[in-house]
Chain A
Amino acid sequence: MSIIIKDLNKIYPNGKHALKNINLEIPAGMFGLLGPNGAGKSTMIRILAALNEPTSGSVNMYGYDLLKERKQARSVIGYLPQDFRFFAQYKTYEFLDYAARLSGMNNSGKRREAVEKMLHSVGLYDVRDRYANKMSGGMKRRLGIAQALIHDPKVIIVDEPTTGLDPEERIRFRNLLSQAGGQNVTIILSTHIVGDISSSCNKMTLLNQGELTFIGSPDQIISQAKGKVWRAVVAESEFQEINEKFPVITTVPVPKGWELQIVSDEKPHELAEPYEPNLEHAYVYFLENNLKLWTNG
């Protein structure tokens, strides 16, 4: 089972063409949706979460047509929005219980069991009677994922989940997501943090200006960047020149000047050495080469 997106277009009333003819099949497993700001990620996520309607095209969500069978499609979706806040008047337990009820878990015994189990698994059981405004950002985010997972959805959509979290919470959150993704579950992770995808997604797509520009595994996109990433230590005087010519990924000050990681088809500096690319390098390389978007201005 998978999500099949066909000829998906979204044109906003102001004329902005946010999604252009998207065709994509998202299988079970973690799927990363990567793209710069304004690429159309949020639009796509909102359409997949049945919050917005596409202008044209179709989405088949685990066998349900998202446009025609929205109720059924919604029943298989769990969603965590980007900036998740919840009503200050609800306690943790109540919020999760409410989400479970709305997801159709009508049997109160089973629901109670599921809520408690979920609270345990997200590490919030001890704070189950705490109000929202008394919780930390990480706790809130965990509660957010808990409400998305409470009804065992087939599709979990998370939008920029780790933004603003400290590294420890970020790792914890990633692990939670990984645990949730069973064999027949699709997790769509929309992010601009490359690290989130590289550490957990086995498939990804790259969205830019409303178009899909890459579909494949993170390894595939990394392999495209092999031999294109360089490491060089340059003097202060040379730094400006290189920065204007090539995309510079990292800049670390060293006693002799700057240690740089540069993406380039050719050797950018006589002292440059090849460097093993990661997803971030690959992402930049991809954007630079395929889309010629990169500027350091």
Chain B
Amino acid sequence: MISLNTILSVAKYERVLLSRSWFFRIFAFLSIAIIGIYTYVPTSSVINVTNIIYALPSTMPYMSMLLLNVGQAVIAIFLASEFIKRDQKLDTSEVFFVKPMSNTEYVLGKTLGSIQMFMFISIITVLMTYIFNRALDWVDYKAYLYYIFLINIPTLVYIIGLSYFLMVLIRNQAIVFALLLGYVALTVFYIGDYFYYVFDYMGFNLPLVKSDIVGMSNIRAILLHRCAYLLIGSGLIGLSIYRLNRLPNRKLGRYYVLAFSLLILGCGFSGIFAHIYGFNSKESKRELYLSLNNKYSRADKLLTDKYDIKVIHRGDVILSEAKVSGKTMSKTSELIFTLNPDMIIDNVTCEEYKMSFERQQQIVRVIFEEPIDADERINFSFIYNGGIDQSFCYLDIEKTKLNANKSIDIFNVDKQYAFLQSDYVLLTPETYWYPRPGTSYSDENPNWQQTYFADYTLEVSTADSLKAISQGECVFEDGKYLFKPENKMLYISLAIGKYKEYSRYIDKVDYSIAFIDGHDNFSAITDSIMDTIPGLIKNGMISFQQSRGMGEYPFKRFRIVEVPAQFAIYDRMWTQASESVQPEIVFFEERGYNTINVSNIYREQKQWSRWSNGNTTDEELRIRATDWTIRKFTYISHIESQKVGGKRKGVSVPNPYNILPNFLNYRINIYSPNWLIGNRIIEQYIMPNGFDDYFRTVNGISAQEQSNTILKDYSFRDVVSDNKYNTIKSELINVKAKELFQLAEMNASAKDVKKELFKTLEKSSFNNISFEELLDSVGRKFSVDMNSYLSFWMDSVSVPVYETLEPVFENYKNRDEDVYVTTVNIKNISEHKGLIYLEMREGKKRNTPYYFYVEPGQRVQRVIYSENPPAEVVIDTNISGNIPNRFSFKSGKIATIKGSKPQAEGLSIIEDDYVDENVIIVDNEDEGFSVTDDKKVGYLAHWLNTDPKSETKYSGLQYWRPPLTWINVPNNNYYGKTIRSAAAVKSGDGSKYANWSTEIKEEGRYDLYYYTSEPDYLRWDKRADAKYQFVIESYNDAPDLVFLDIRKAGKGWCLLGTYYLNAGECNVKLSNKAELRIVEADAVKFVKR
């Protein structure tokens, strides 16, 4: 029998030991101090910390437990291994080892003592956190308990077990330290949330944020994970008992301990496998759902135009009746509907007649006894009940994105797509909570997404304390909520919770905010400016409409509705509308923890004003905060730094709260079974992104160039159906939308085309319009046939490449004329026809651009006359293999020519090229160019599959962070026939160099030139000596050292010197030894004299 007394005795004296250990005391002090600072800061007005702390009360204990956990894990390693080490000094511990206690009692006592001490620190931390937490609006008491048990205890038991076990196994404290600290660093900094957080024993990446509305939504998975670690830790402690260097009291006792430990370990590892299985089974379910969708995506469906849905909310299920009315599209004997797989259908009737139906997961096949003719009206009634299987949602989103964390700083929020529990419900169209015709996402047939407008009514019964929210006018009668949307809609959504609502009529629209009772964190800011708010909303709406060329807001109400923190959405390839924006409704995250939070914006503004000593009044700050909050609904997208292919890149992230879908997607339904992303093309054309400059700085190439690189190998159809391009999809669609509508823009301005497009769309409000019909209508106006271009546009892989000569700027002055002539010379060196956009700018004045096609292999010359001196020529090669694809040439000094006539204005084809055999140019893009290569890939990165090959060839050049190894940087100012780029590296000791190598066929005197780009950073590195150091190595000759001051050199070819070069290989080397921060290697020219 195990004696509790003995365990407690050992524990007591372990506590005494720890409490007198300076190491532990320092840890305790530092932990409490650091956590104290972290928990105090949000309560002070000194620094405005992450908004989530103010918004979600559970984050305060979450943060302090997480921080404590990291320190604890490290210290526990030291202390645990110290205990074993102590016990290895035999003479010291032998006086205890002869005592009659068992090994189990001894080790358990030691473990308990350590855990008690750490818990003591936890409790102090918790109390301190609680005190600071009270200074904020509210406290989530339960969360404190949750996090101690979910974060701290499992971590502690696991790390103690692992330390004990390794120590009794390896018996060398230094090696055990190195191993364990390496393990901690590996899991925290490297493995992170890989493999479904399996290695995250500290819970650092686990989604543990607790919502105040629905609590922890993934508690089962979290408990499984944490229990698994608790059990593994306990098992390892057991194994340490088995391996303890002391004779057991009973000979067989050891084996009992071994068997028991293995059993616990087995349970722990089963937990881990169950955790992985949980994820994998979701994935296999998703595969099944997708295969069913693919199978039935071409099956006949009902063109629904009316829905009457009744919902009774009971606990964690709904009981529902959906009356669906519509017309058959063709003669058919069965119709396909989709309903969430966890909803069980009791019966399907048609005009009181019970229909036979078959259910395969989400698919409902309603079978007619006799075929029904096309265009027949059919009224179905589905009676069903159940919950929501969330693995059915977002079948289009790839695994990595689905499993990726939704995290803000150190806080990880679980992702849920729907909620159905006794006190809260959120059902968006993505869940298919009511039967809808056809299938959900299919990766084989775009037809699935064809939706149609329908009239809806929705009746909801729920508990008395809860309120239902949906689209349309709401009447509450006999304990039921009846919703009747005034407009036809594509979908309907439902939220039920302890909602309170504030609303206000402004310009015939009912604006309201629905929030969970007690979650009002805005009134304190907005109450005093209530009179101003209508004006702010009105202005926000008007400026959105005007800037986007939109008509009036088409709905009678605009509601923002608070939803739990875990509610997750993804942006889609085929639409800009996310699940958080529904007709009339925008779902915003709990207390606006991430974005929509007026009080946080106010706090920031106030602080900013204080720092900048501004004279802004408090009222102005409140107005500004409210105005900025309103703007959160109107911007299109922002740039976020994300890890793409193992490298941080700037990625454009659509604003999930953007109200555009209410003007476009939920008002206009562009359908086309052939051109699947009609809606998105129109959206992108109307609202393009404008982040090209940013993309170039961060990623090296612009979004359009990135898209072009992809379109060089794949057709648009290939690209849209492949999830791997998701991070660049907006830009891809944007590029293709531009290409399509450029056909019309060639005959008018882009502004006119957009205006006409929107006019056509507005006419079809709340009606379905086909993509072809729309293009036809716009095309007619601008005399182009856009439809006939569609198949080429969708399916061809046609990316031309151009060589451009430097434009010639001349001023012809004759007796009867004084004209400026700009001559642009472009050759299409590819096998694909291409469209060029050419614009000549006189000062700041923008002239009408020229569009012209260039046939494969053709060289064209465009001569432009102007009265005023040209300042610049801008050439946009659109979808092309050129990098940059849009470039410009400044006119500089314009030559005056007298006595001769200029060439005629217009476009002409130039017969052939003159090749000067005395000139050899070696560019950094050519084969003759090389750099010292010192890129290394760590084994760990390799093992963790961070694929270094997936990095793109080009990178952005940032002066403040010069590249340590050579990178390729594209830029308008560099030399290049088709790709204007240079290699760049941080300056250094000369160990790195670039080499231009060429074969000199004929010996003789050569002028050697280097192309300088006059980089911007020369201005910032003002004091630095701007000399580049070259070595010229002619075959069989001693090398020559030459310096070039690139500050003095200006832009263009600059003479390095004249050299006598022998026949054979000649190398020009540029060393990275320089005073400037960056050394760039572009192009070298050899000109034979």
Contacts and interface: CB of A to CB of B under 8 A. Distances in A.
A90 B21 CA distance: 11
B8 to A, nearest CB: 9
A86 B92 contact: yes
Interface residues of A, number: 36
A82 B91 CA distance: 8
Nearest to A77: B98
B96 interface: yes
A72 interface: yes
A51 B94 CA distance: 8
Contact of A70 (B90, B92, B248): B248
Contact of B6 (A50, A70, A102, A148): A102
A50 B250 CA distance: 11
Nearest to A88: B20
Given A101-B5, A101-B9, A74 B91 contact: no
Given A52-B247, A67-B251, A104 B94 contact: no
A125 interface: no
A87 B703 CA distance: 67
Interface in B90-104: 90-92, 94-102
Contacts of B366: none
A94 B16 contact: yes
A84 B95 contact: yes
B103 to A, nearest CB: 11
Interface string B56-98: 0000000000000000000000000000001001111011111
Contact of A103 (B17, B20, B99): B99
Interface residues of B, number: 31
Interface string B15-26: 011001100000
Contact of B95 (A53, A79, A106): A79
B247 A83 contact: no
Given A53-B247, A67-B251, A82-B91, A94 B100 contact: no
A79 B9 contact: no
A144 B99 contact: no
A68 B247 contact: no
Contact of A72 (B92, B96, B100, B246): B100
Contact of B17 (A67, A87, A102): A87
A79 B94 contact: yes
A85 B98 contact: no
25 contacts: A49-B98, A51-B246, A53-B247, A67-B251, A68-B250, A70-B249, A71-B100, A71-B249, A72-B100, A74-B98, A77-B98, A81-B90, A85-B89, A87-B92, A89-B16, A89-B20, A98-B9, A98-B96, A101-B13, A102-B96, A102-B99, A104-B6, A106-B5, A147-B95, A148-B95
Contact of A81 (B20, B95, B246): B95
B17 A68 contact: no
B96 A99 contact: yes
A161 B6 CA distance: 28
Interface in A35-73: 49-53, 67-68, 70-72
B468 interface: no
B10 interface: yes
Contacts of B12: 101
Contacts of B91: 81-85
Given A70-B248, A148-B95, A102 B102 contact: no
Contacts of B101: 102
Contacts of A51: 94, 97-98, 246-247
A50 B247 contact: yes
Contacts of A279: none
Interface string B245-270: 01111110000000000000000000
A122 B625 CA distance: 78
Contacts of B16: 89-90, 94
Contact of B100 (A80, A83, A104): A104
B100 A99 contact: no
Contact of B250 (A70, A75, A89, A106): A70
Nearest to B106: A102
A87 B87 CA distance: 10
A103 B100 contact: yes
Contacts of A50: 98, 247
A71 B20 contact: no
Contact of A98 (B5, B13, B21): B13
Contacts of A74: 98-100, 249
A70 B100 CA distance: 8
A68 B249 CA distance: 8
B6 A101 contact: yes
Contacts of A77: 98
Contacts of B98: 49-51, 74, 77-79
A50 B5 CA distance: 22
